[in-house]
Amino acid sequence: MFTGIIESVGTLRKIERRGGDIRLTVASGKLDLSDVKLGDSIATNGVCLTVVECLNDGYVADISAETVELTGFAHYQVGTKVNLEKAVTPMTRLGGHMVSGHVDGVAQVDERQFRGKAIEFWLSAPKELSRYIAHKGSITIDGVSLTVNEVAEHQFRLTIVPHTAAETTLVDLKMGDSVNLEVDLIARHLERLMQFSGDNAASSGGEGVTMDLLARSGFLK
């Protein structure tokens, strides 16, 4: 589990393609590796990767073919910058939101402009993921926890404050770029719960979890 608060920007030092899989060597920048050991998890541009080799200034990790297909790693090259975050501990401050590191798909940057000192982006999400993106909800872009400021069908708007821009790779995004997208974990589980609750309610005659029940309970406006 992660928070979406980036600890360092790393660099892809080596990419080995092994059939459909990939083995990465990542230079970790300022990331503190003193407590990292084999088998630990590090979110690399939002993808939860398992450390298979520890280096003095980085780590080696494997990416499965399925993960490659769902993320931007299929197009990354040696020298690509990546956002890094170590897995949370019981003492970690939850400064962002609950992030699993399981990327749902790829979004595309449609617009980029400055608003004051902040950078404002409009992105397009895959249609099948749009229903999980809500105004003022949380979303993860290349591992960065962000707040959705506006939603219009399959597009959504993000505002990147100067500190976040300076500490992540988002400052380099331009129109047409693709980013790893992880939707809100709670939204996905809630949808699944409602599916099963509806089936159970129909068989037992009960109400179950419905949109009306959520609205009456204050979860929806």
Task: Return the bridge partners of 109, or none.
Answer: 123
Quickly tell me which residue has 């798909």 as its tokens: 105
CA dist., res. 33 & res. 148, Å (int): 32
Taking only the tens place, the pLDDT of each residue in 150-159 is 999 999 999 9
CATH 2.40.30.20 spans which residues of the chain? Answer: 8-86, 109-183
The residues near 108 (Cβ < 8 Å, ≥ 6 apart) are 123, 124, 176, 177, 178, 179
Q: What is the dihedral of CA 40, 132, 178, 171, to 10 degrees?
A: -80
The domain over range 8-86 is classified in CATH as 2.40.30.20: yes
Q: Position 76: which residue type? A: Y
User: Are the beta carbons of 39 and 50 closer than 8 angstroms?
Assistant: yes
The model's pTM: 0.86
Q: For 49-93, how does the pLDDT look when each residue is reduced to its tens digit (9 = 90+)?
A: 999 999 999 999 999 999 999 999 989 999 999 999 999 988 777
Structure tokens at 215: 């609205």
In CATH terms, is domain 109-183 a member of 2.40.128.110? no
